[in-house]
Structure 1
């Protein structure tokens, strides 16, 4: 890609990049990455800068293969540098660290004791964690009030047994009675009318006051700087299940009528979300989809609106790139945000009145999260091609890494070089991709090559650390990671290109990626594999019905027979918007023409299907039906279903099994050998 590096951040700081991103391999004692190394990686998230600017709290999530469980703990690291120290013990997970604005407490969420998630606090001067809330059904999320006297809680309506304190888990469950239009959600299951609402919890009196209600979900609450109001996101249209029209609302923090009196701030027919207040409390910045007709393919923009309502000002209309995480500067003159652009996640800012976007952290790095603290110091979660996300600070134009939790593992392994490439698709459209090469790469040798396809489809491969790609590279594969049409990071028209034409333009794009690396002389055209997860699995299905060039395919949680998903997954709004009602004669051609299932007789590639038993995002029925058809036709295929798993496989032993099956399937049919199973 274009090497755009801001004056704030030199390439020298980021591993001395020059066209190809390569990690110095050090001594000969380094080894190649293995499946088990995944369970040594510590995953960081949610960095929070203390009010006085001296400490950063964050979450470290780990997986324990022996216990077959995952756990999250709160840690913190000094801004001046030094070792990270644990703030919560092992045994019970803790997450969502937040500092009280007066600096006295570090709070977090944990499901200790009776298994219900509550807010816990640690006194800065020492002592054990103390449970602060005692909500019968538990707490979903929370925020401190500006004066540290209250908490803003997000709580889901209780089940009867929550209020009765029943603990008998063996009782036969009641039948689900369903009357909602959208009645399923991944990781939840069937949906009822229990909704998430906002409550104010007084820390001194322990009094809980409900400030929103109704048959709507309320989320992303944010206190006004004076603590008098709360901005939040809610879809309060006549039929919320039929659209994505969320708006920004404001309710008084001392509202006595459970939110019957509130102000609708935005009235955009598209989705509005992520509200954040200006320091003077006069304005709210937020993310707005201004083209609802483009639906999920629309570019979300940064907008500002007076908190009492009025005409919004869209600040990034000409930018035409996805943005997220808006944050006002401390002086209120500009707004910071994360910007997706051509395989990068940049930190950028723009004047609050509009103007030129200033890109602060760019290049071969990914800014996944950030917060602004005292003196304008920014703490950020940053990843690089050979670095899983770590905590950094950015101040006075300089970037400094504070956490080094994966340093030991990284010092032991050899990682493959990562190269950004650009090439032309069949119709002349420029496409970007990343290539991960085996350690010790020899450009004169033709390697077995894997085409790995990302999910979304509105997402992008980026410069961040990619364990699975590095694992494949460690086993001798060149790994190609394309961003075909439909991806984010390249503008709305680029994303919209696959609407009602899935399997056409993006197929040409990903095949052009394969042809490009073959032309470079290091990819073996006779040893090719393909695969992906979610939309990557769907695109894999679309690829194998169109070409026999691949020796092996792995389709993870991908759709196949589109009509089977209507009323069975969580996307009925998406299906209707893109393809129309499936029983209408005028829509039937699209539903059938685009479904890879109907072209199953074209498939000759040995294909492994994998997915979770309880996946309501892309239900396992897709894999089952495609597998059934291939098996009936006598083709080489296998289906693996992980019990109790959702769209993402989370059980450590299942993840180990999944990675080993990946390697075994590719080794057997691409290389002609077997490695693990």
Structure 2
């Protein structure tokens, strides 16, 4: 996909193959003494059909280049350190007897030598946590409900495999999640055994309680605190916090709120307390709210950030236990904040234009994290106690084919609406693409490999990334003003942001298009039925008929709390199909369980039969439908992500620029 703008510099964004080959950093782990830091780096395989991830060691001082530690043919993930400095990780490593074994737990000794397998289970290992001062290691793994031993588990899985049985009998909700069919295995927490022993099941007969579990191991390894899902009215689930003794498996509910979900437990370095996040249940009239809480064992709970108008998104303790370090969306960024665990006072620690994730605390008040923005993909950094941030050598950050600036607009109700604006390097006014983020409780504040505006900037487009009503990082009132009224304030905010961008002399206001995925796809559909100002609209994984969507999404109980039937009808894009006169590109993956394929199928049929641009008598239409039978909500396979961009840019080029672009041969 070569750039079409003569002045555009040669960057990896000028060619899709170069872009897809960029290495991708994810995750971070720090040894208990702070002397070692590791991350994972994913690189494209030789066939260019998937990414293989390896563990790399970083120099905590930021002077030496990164050093690769693992080289398994199928990659490694989820690194974590033991108290004595050994490195644990997950990997699936083929053998002569099995070329696709389940993921197992491996250990790389700090003293040197080869990595060795610690624990292999028939259903694989999903997650691992290690005590920071003790010898206890706990994993999450799926076990079949009727299996009584690991040997029995292996027999039953072989029985299903040999007979090609995929059926699952459910007795409760949910039955699938995002892109995963749940069951027949149920997640358990297991204590990793001494060599030769079977793992100890800490959570026998958990049912569906540990799906999507967050868990932490106490520093001395004596107990685990985990999220634990319990049934709620209307086939709903809610998350409480459970304390599990690692010696006996004794379980105790330690935090339980009937109309809130509790998650992200983080145990204090001395084991005396657990911090966690609390999300209140929404109602059709009231948006949810996320706050930071702390339970001191024997002393009760405290909500620490009830007066802070931000939503904490992650929490870790400082190494000395005197502070809680949280991240939170804020004004198009996601800084680090320090929260006093006694008073709840909040102090901002970073003030740059980045979003921070994967925060790890080290002795001496040092923090390590990943940070990214729309100007840089995720990369590891060290944050010193004085606030100085040092980038750690890992992968080179790519040059960008343009510039990033901020834009502020005023909505009809007077609200401030801010955006990022990506501008290509060209001398004449650029055509504008309005990109609408998903969520909707989200923000355009960090790098995205899937929705990357620089690929379009390399083709000469400007890309507008607004945060309309419902976006996070602007306070509770900004979320509330769009709650239950998706077609009102959020739509008006998007149009105000577009007006402000079009007033910029660097933008060609006559050549514009709108794009969005998930909730952004919903908004793209709504935009299509309410304005003709755009020349083309791309709608990906989008909600179309809200009455149909509500009961078919993977978390229908959440949707039932968000809108009444009357609200859903008033905000459903399908009711305005007759007003659509803009060519639309519909994109959907069949394995999308969050926004099921039925939304796209109905949208496609109604575009062809009931829109203002129906199909011709011969069946041809200006609308197009890009369908991925094997993909889900995000379309992640490199070969399919490439086709996604090729089809999208060809569609935009035709309708926005008035020129035809050849479609890829791989479409057949």
Calculate the TM-score normalised by the size of structure 1. Answer: 0.88
Cα 1:28–1:570, aligned 2, differ >3 Å: closer, same or farther? closer
Contact 1:193 1:215 in 2 (8 A): no
| 1:505 shift after superposition | 1.1
Could you tell me which residue of structure 2 aligns to residue 645 of structure 1?
A: 631
Contact 2:409 2:418 in 1 (8 A): yes
| Residues paired across the two proteins, number | 631
1:461 aligns with 2:447: no
Cα 1:662–1:296, aligned 2, differ >3 Å: closer, same or farther? farther
Distance in structure 2 (CA, Å) of the matches to 1:28 and 1:547: 35
Cα 1:403–1:285, aligned 2, differ >3 Å: closer, same or farther? same
1:208 aligns with 2:192: no
Please give the per-residue CA displacement for 1:401-423, whole angstroms capped at 9, x wherever unaligned.
1124134xx2xx44211111111
Could you tell me which residue of structure 2 aligns to residue 631 of structure 1?
A: 608
SS, match of residue 199 in structure 1: strand
Select which of 2, 19, 23 maps to 1:42. 23
Select which of 281, 286, 289 maps to 2:276. 286
Select which of 486, 490, 494 maps to 2:478. 494
Cα 1:131–1:172, aligned 2, differ >3 Å: closer, same or farther? closer
1:197 aligns with 2:188: yes
| 1:65 shift after superposition | 6.9
Select which of 359, 374, 380 maps to 2:369. 380
5+ long unaligned stretches in structure 2: 1-6, 616-620, 664-668
Could you tell me which residue of structure 2 aligns to residue 117 of structure 1?
A: 103
Cα 1:543–1:170, aligned 2, differ >3 Å: closer, same or farther? farther
Contact 1:265 1:307 in 2 (8 A): no
SS, match of residue 318 in structure 1: coil
Could you tell me which residue of structure 2 aligns to residue 180 of structure 1?
A: 172
Q: Which sits farther off after the overlay, 28-37 or 657-666?
A: 28-37
| 1:465 shift after superposition | 6.4
Could you tell me which residue of structure 1 aligns to residue 245 of structure 2?
A: 252
Q: Which sits farther off after the overlay, 356-365 or 503-512?
A: 356-365
Contact 1:387 1:465 in 2 (8 A): no
Contact 2:432 2:461 in 1 (8 A): yes
Select which of 41, 44, 57 maps to 2:38. 57
Contact 1:216 1:240 in 2 (8 A): no
Distance in structure 2 (CA, Å) of the matches to 1:322 and 1:33: 37
Could you tell me which residue of structure 1 aligns to residue 573 of structure 2?
A: 596
| 1:540 shift after superposition | 0.3
Could you tell me which residue of structure 2 aligns to residue 11 of structure 1?
A: none
RMSD: 2.4
Distance in structure 1 (CA, Å) of the matches to 2:135 and 2:195: 7
Contact 1:123 1:129 in 2 (8 A): yes
Contact 1:145 1:223 in 2 (8 A): yes
Contact 1:535 1:558 in 2 (8 A): yes
Could you tell me which residue of structure 1 aligns to residue 543 of structure 2?
A: 559
Please give the per-residue CA displacement for 1:470-515, whole angstroms capped at 9, x wherever unaligned.
1111111111111000111112222232333121111110011111
Q: Which sits farther off after the overlay, 56-65 or 455-464?
A: 56-65
Distance in structure 2 (CA, Å) of the matches to 1:405 and 1:575: 41
| 1:93 shift after superposition | 1.6
1:230 aligns with 2:224: yes
| 1:318 shift after superposition | 1.4
Distance in structure 2 (CA, Å) of the matches to 1:263 and 1:332: 24
Please give the per-residue CA displacement for 1:584-623, whole angstroms capped at 9, x wherever unaligned.
xxx3x33332211121111011100111111111112211
Could you tell me which residue of structure 2 aligns to residue 22 of structure 1?
A: none
Distance in structure 1 (CA, Å) of the matches to 2:154 and 2:266: 34
Could you tell me which residue of structure 1 aligns to residue 83 of structure 2?
A: 101
Contact 1:180 1:192 in 2 (8 A): no
Contact 2:518 2:542 in 1 (8 A): yes
Contact 2:283 2:562 in 1 (8 A): no
Cα 1:238–1:608, aligned 2, differ >3 Å: closer, same or farther? closer
| 1:348 shift after superposition | 0.8
1:480 aligns with 2:464: yes
Distance in structure 1 (CA, Å) of the matches to 2:423 and 2:494: 18
Cα 1:660–1:197, aligned 2, differ >3 Å: closer, same or farther? same
Calculate the TM-score normalised by the size of structure 2. Answer: 0.89
5+ long unaligned stretches in structure 1: 1-25, 581-586
Q: Which sits farther off after the overlay, 121-130 or 640-649?
A: 121-130
1:667 aligns with 2:649: no
Select which of 377, 395, 406 maps to 1:405. 395
SS, match of residue 488 in structure 1: coil
Q: Which sits farther off after the overlay, 652-661 or 28-37?
A: 28-37
SS, match of residue 41 in structure 1: coil
Could you tell me which residue of structure 1 aligns to residue 383 of structure 2?
A: 394
SS, match of residue 114 in structure 2: coil
Distance in structure 2 (CA, Å) of the matches to 1:638 and 1:517: 28
Cα 1:238–1:483, aligned 2, differ >3 Å: closer, same or farther? closer
1:264 aligns with 2:254: yes
1:503 aligns with 2:487: yes
Contact 2:102 2:122 in 1 (8 A): yes
1:130 aligns with 2:120: no
Could you tell me which residue of structure 2 aligns to residue 139 of structure 1?
A: 125
Could you tell me which residue of structure 2 aligns to residue 8 of structure 1?
A: none
Distance in structure 1 (CA, Å) of the matches to 2:200 and 2:575: 55
Please give the per-residue CA displacement for 1:39-93, whole angstroms capped at 9, x wherever unaligned.
1221111111223323211111223473412211111112232111111115212
Could you tell me which residue of structure 2 aligns to residue 3 of structure 1?
A: none
Cα 1:232–1:307, aligned 2, differ >3 Å: closer, same or farther? farther
